[in-house]
Amino acid sequence: MGGKWKKLQQAPVVTTANGDTEAPSSSGRKHTLSLALPGSCIEHCPSAEAAAAVAAQIARAAAIFAVDEVVVYEEVPLGGDGSISLGSATLARVLQYLETPPFLRASLFPGSVAYPELRCAAALCPSLQTPHHSRSQEWQSYREGVVMRSEPDTGSFVDIGYERNAHVEECLPVGRRVTLYLGSSPSTAFVPAFSETMLKARLARPSEPRTQQGTYWGFSVRVATSLSRVLKEPGFKAGYDLSVGTARQGAVRQVAELVLPTFKHALVVLGGTQELEAIVAGDAALAQAGKGAADLFSLYLNCCPGQATASIRSEDAAILCLAYLHASLLKDGAGTGAGIACAPSCCPSLTLIPCSRQTLTLDQSPGAVWGKRGLEQAFGSSV
């Protein structure tokens, strides 16, 4: 598996939906940005509407500043059984719902009407207006879709929210969310098994629009049972090589003077109802290691010096901190890897979330990602 993966990463060309090849773009963004914040930020919301509003503000901040991964963590660990609080489960579920393109939500979240926070979120934030939230009349090289039908030896029928449906050669599980590459212009073919003229497409990794074109393609959602697990179980195989803690006690730097080390995978960590110092002190794993908040991160910064309030809410801190770091993150991000995210850890309390972003990992069995035909069929014989 390792040798095949190396060969795939070093492939000099990209196969288009029409069977042609094109050179990989040099304008792609290789580095990634992750944002970690506690689920406690919505635990004290008085209603589902208020909880949805907080989650929508966080989702919008993540989209505006091109966050690739949002990690919801437990401010106060609940124990060693892997359980999470209602606040964390709700926040993760709403973030995942809002990240999903609107035309896919009915298929991927069939029980969403049972959750008032999802109904409110859809009304407050119908679309993030990101490139992957495509309009029905808008042509894009990449689109998100959901598998509607699959036939052996025929392939899969994929709804991509366009005037025509798409066809891929792989036989994929019905209900699977996929990223497709359609080419620079439409190419169609009649598929007898589906009795329909369909767009030719090929499967793509969710990270491909970012790495090939520099196009922001949404964020994955991961849940961690403690702050220590945010760092010990990174969402990327290579781990986070830059971590930034944000708190009132952090160092004060003017935006123009801020210099970050070159990184591939950056992580920005926010506090919640408690400052990061208290959260670190209450984490048994971190306390046992004898680490304080200032020792835990590559940089420990005050992103809002001179604040006039006693505290800053997490949803406000997300906008403030990402805006403060934005220019430096763009300038100093110089990763050359493909930035393939690991799949979110399966937490029993997250069974309420019916769909998770399908991503590829080096240690994951091919069948778990692309169905019965496996990785070789999904990406061709060059894998």
Confidence of residue 67 (pLDDT cuts 50, 70, 90): very high
Residue type for 119, please?
R
**What is the homologous superfamily of the domain 132-209 according to CATH?**
Nucleic acid-binding proteins (2.40.50.140)
Is the pLDDT assigned to residue 1 strictly greater than 80?
A: no
Is the pLDDT assigned to residue 243 strictly greater than 90?
A: yes
Minimum mean pLDDT among 206-210, 337-341, 376-380: which range? Answer: 376-380
What residues does CATH 2.40.50.140 cover in the chain?
A: 132-209
| pLDDT score recorded for residue 289 | 81
Cβ distance 123 to 97 under 8 Å?
Answer: no
Residue type for 190, please?
F
Within 10 A of 236 (CB to CB), how many other CB atoms are there?
23
Comparing C-alpha atoms, which of 227, 225, 206, 230 is closest to residue 217? 206
Cβ distance 294 to 300 under 8 Å?
Answer: yes
| pLDDT score recorded for residue 16 | 44
| pLDDT score recorded for residue 221 | 96
In angstroms, rounded to a whole number, what is the distance separating the alpha carbons of residues 314 and 369? 34
| pTM, rounded to two decimals | 0.81
- Architecture, CATH, for domain 32-130+216-333: 3-Layer(aba) Sandwich (3.40)
What residues does CATH 3.40.1280.10 cover in the chain?
A: 32-130+216-333
Minimum mean pLDDT among 106-120, 143-157, 257-271: which range? Answer: 106-120
Within 10 A of 376 (CB to CB), how many other CB atoms are there?
13
Is the pLDDT assigned to residue 345 strictly greater than 80?
A: no
Region 74-78: mean pLDDT is: 89
Comparing C-alpha atoms, which of 321, 250, 272 is closest to residue 74? 272
103-148 confidence digits (pLDDT tens)? 999 999 988 878 889 999 999 889 999 999 988 888 999 999 999 9
Confidence of residue 292 (pLDDT cuts 50, 70, 90): confident
Within 8 A by CB and 6+ apart from 169, the residues are: 155, 202, 377
